């Protein structure tokens, strides 16, 4: 099983120059490869794939673009692999073989694109405690300081160096062995993921939501105003923009931390997890909800509850979103058709039980998931 650990880097100014150079080289090669592919297509060359594009560029690389040799060779190869993946995703989508969001034809990458990244193969770097060694980086490949040590043990498969806000990160992929199924504290559970409370569980426990963005809303307004007052493209504008970027990044970090902590605890403690398919994308269309939803990033949280149990030998079963988990009384099965989104508690007209809306839903989700798993 492959796990990734994203670690913040503390590069020296020289090392940061290298990172920019590598990201720039990747963008350049990607664009060259895309232009070549379009040309190949226009003159009707068959099977003009990544391998042939690479061969073609290699014939003139040394003469025309000698600076490409200043960065690790993987940067060059990674760019062509990325284009290959983007093309095949596009053609699979066009042929109807790919589900999910629409995939467009690959575009040329401009310098304005703030996403800067490049890949490294596992034979091209080494990790030791707080240091990562990358070839071509300084005369002896001086190591770059990492803010944390690598969390996982196992065979290192590769890495991606990328820039987010004003920071550089390395995401290291490690192939870890799947652990033996552990003894779980509790056999089964239902999880109701929500906006007010991050998750309510059928054993009447809960994980609170961190709402750092809402707390920092006044600061956000201030930062936005200060950006709007500056002349676009000026030094002061870039400074304000960078401040805003750091703010968003910090908020995202806090949120992500809360999500990982909760999903880890759920995956570790329960062997069988029932989870409702919230269809977050559809919900975000509702304007009133969209701020809170984008704020809490529930889609990513749900994804974590789905993949993490695999690490501990557990299992997650999703319950369809049309199943009336909130409206059905868990005690007698009566369906409360009058229940609205604002009702946090309700009294069952069938049996008189007073329900906490979400805990009742979580219990129904647990039962429905068990029914689906045994069907």
Which of these is catalytic: 74, 82, 295, 358?
358
Alpha-carbon distances of 160 from 75, 91, 128, rounded to whole Å: 10, 25, 17
Residue 350 contacts Zn ion per CB under 5 A = yes
Q: How far is the CB of 363 from Zn ion (least distance, A)?
A: 12
Is residue 53 a contact residue for Zn ion (CB under 5 A)? no
Residue 133 near residue 141 (C-beta atoms within 8 A): yes
| Stretch in the footprint of Zn ion (CB under 5 A) among 21-29, 109-117, 273-281, 321-329 | 321-329
| Count of CA atoms in the C-beta half-sphere (13 A) of 69 | 8
Among 157, 243, 334, 370, binds Zn ion (CB under 5 A): 334
Rounded Cα gap, residues 342 and 319, in angstroms: 23
| Helix (H), strand (E) at residue 15 | helix 13-42
| Shorter beta-carbon distance to Zn ion: residue 147 or 332 | 332
Tell me, yes or no, if 358 is annotated catalytic.
yes
Asked if 74 is an active-site residue, the reply is no
Tokens of 38: 């379009």
* Distance from chain centroid for Cα 227: 28
Continuous segment of H or E residues that includes residue 247: helix 235-269
In the list 85, 142, 219, 351, the residue contacting Zn ion (rule: CB under 5 A) is 351
Window contacting Zn ion (CB under 5 A); options: 31-39, 125-133, 236-244, 331-339:
331-339
- Which residue spans within the chain are E strands per DSSP? 2-10, 116-121, 126-128, 131-133, 144-146, 155-164, 167-175, 186-193, 199-201, 206-207, 270-276, 315-319, 345-347, 354-356
Kindly tell me which residue out of 22, 199, 329, 362 binds Zn ion, with binding defined by CB under 5 A: 329
Query: CA–CA separation, 207 vs 193, rounded Å?
Result: 9
Residue closer to Zn ion (CB basis): 219 or 332:
332
Residues in the chain, overall count: 375
**Span near Zn ion by CB under 5 A; candidates 171-179, 181-189, 313-321, 344-352:** 344-352
Active site residue 257: no
CB of 342 to Zn ion, least distance (A): 21
Give whichever of 228 and 351 is closer to Zn ion, judged by the CB atom: 351
Binding mask 285-304 for Zn ion (x = CB under 5 A): --------------------
Cβ at position 132, least distance to Zn ion in Å: 58
- Comparison of 310 and 331: residue with beta carbon closer to Zn ion: 331
Nearest residue (CB) to Zn ion, 15 versus 336: 336
Contact residue for Zn ion among 277, 306, 315, 331 (CB under 5 A): 331
> Is 142 a residue that touches Zn ion (CB under 5 A)?
no
Q: Which is nearer to Zn ion, 152 or 334 (CB)?
A: 334
Taking CA atoms, 341 is separated from 52, 84, 281, 284, in Å, by 57, 46, 18, 15
Residue appearing with tokens 């004003």:
166
User: Which residues, in sequence order, are CB contacts of 127 under 8 Å at separation 6+?
Assistant: 133, 146, 150, 156, 172
The residue assigned the tokens 């923009």 is: 241
Nearer to Zn ion, 280 or 348 (CB): 348
Q: How far is C-alpha 275 from the geometric centre of its chain's CA atoms?
A: 20
Q: Which stretch binds Zn ion (CB under 5 A): 118-126, 151-159, 193-201, 324-332?
A: 324-332
Say whether 196 sits in a helix, a strand or coil: coil
Q: Per the residue annotation, which of 192, 295, 366, 368 is the catalytic one?
A: 192
Catalytic residue among 74, 82, 276, 295: 276
- Helix 13-42 and helix 50-64: axis angle, to 10°? 120
Give the shortest CB-188-to-Zn ion separation in angstroms.
21
Q: Is residue 348 within the footprint of Zn ion (CB under 5 A)?
A: yes
Q: Does the protein bind Zn ion through residue 332 (CB under 5 A)?
A: yes
- Binding range to Zn ion, per CB under 5 A, among 5-13, 182-190, 252-260, 346-354: 346-354
Which residues of this chain interact with Zn ion, rule CB under 5 A?
Answer: 329, 331-332, 334, 348, 350-351
Point out the residues that are catalytic.
Answer: 192, 276, 358
């Amino acid at each position: 099983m492959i796990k990734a650990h994203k670690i913040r880097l503390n590069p020296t100014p020289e090392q940061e120059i290298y990172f920019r150079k590598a990201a720039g080289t990747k963008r350049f090669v990607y664009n060259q490869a895309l232009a070549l592919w379009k040309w190949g297509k226009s003159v009707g060359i068959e099977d003009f794939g990544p391998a042939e594009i690479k061969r073609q560029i290699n014939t003139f690389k040394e003469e025309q673009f000698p600076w490409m040799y200043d960065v690790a060779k993987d940067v060059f190869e990674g760019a062509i692999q990325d284009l290959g993946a983007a093309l095949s995703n596009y053609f699979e989508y066009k042929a109807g073989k790919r589900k999910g969001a629409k995939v467009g034809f690959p575009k040329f990458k401009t310098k304005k694109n703030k996403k800067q990244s490049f890949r490294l193969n596992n034979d091209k770097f080494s990790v030791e405690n707080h240091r990562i060694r990358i070839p071509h980086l300084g005369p002896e490949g001086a190591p770059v300081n990492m803010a944390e040590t690598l969390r996982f043990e196992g065979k290192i498969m590769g890495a991606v160096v990328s820039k987010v806000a004003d920071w550089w990160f390395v995401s290291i992929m490690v192939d870890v062995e799947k652990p033996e199924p552990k003894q779980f504290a509790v056999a089964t559970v239902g999880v109701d993921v929500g906006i007010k409370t991050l998750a309510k569980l059928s054993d009447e426990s809960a994980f609170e939501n961190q709402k750092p963005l809402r707390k920092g809303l006044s600061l956000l307004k201030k930062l936005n105003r200060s950006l709007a007052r500056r002349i676009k493209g000026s030094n002061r504008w870039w400074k304000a923009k960078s401040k805003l970027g750091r703010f968003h990044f910090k908020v995202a970090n806090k949120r992500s931390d809360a999500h990982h902590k909760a999903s880890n605890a759920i995956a570790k403690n329960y062997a069988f997890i029932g989870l409702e398919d919230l269809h977050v994308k559809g919900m975000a269309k509702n304007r009133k909800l969209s701020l809170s939803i984008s704020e809490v990033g529930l889609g990513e949280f749900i994804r974590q509850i789905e993949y993490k149990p695999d690490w501990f030998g557990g299992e997650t079963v999703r319950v369809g979103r049309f199943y009336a988990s909130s409206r059905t009384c868990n005690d007698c099965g009566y369906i409360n058709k009058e229940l609205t989104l604002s009702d946090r508690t309700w009294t069952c007209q069938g049996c008189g039980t007073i329900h906490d809306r979400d805990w009742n839903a979580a219990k129904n989700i647990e039962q429905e998931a068990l029914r689906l798993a045994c069907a």
